[in-house]
Amino acid sequence: MPKLTVRDVGEFEVESGKRLVKALVEDAGTDQLHACGGQSKCTSCRIQFIEGEPDRITQAEKDTLKIRGLSDPGVRLSCQITC
């Protein structure tokens, strides 16, 4: 099972293949916004990886990050990442 570590919250085992946005809410109990329903449009689910950033990125996520000017290292959209 993948492990999710959320700073100042804890470490959690999550179901393989689960969307990160769901893992943050359901497993870690955080208040993770996700207004567009996982369509990579609103960027309300953006997070910043401190370490362990996944290599895989969807084209939709790439496009949205570019359009919104979100180029800081580790900034990603949790609705587009699977654990």
Stretch 13-39: mean pLDDT, rounded? Answer: 93
- Confidence tier at 69 by pLDDT (50, 70, 90): very high
Element (H, E) at 20: helix 20-22
Per-residue pLDDT, 36: 87
- Confidence tier at 37 by pLDDT (50, 70, 90): confident
Angle at 66 between CA 50 and CA 8, to 5 degrees: 20
Tokens of 2: 């993948």
Q: Is the pLDDT of residue 8 over 90?
A: yes
* CA distances from residue 63 to 20, 21, 49, 59, 82 in whole angstroms, order as listed: 19, 19, 19, 6, 18
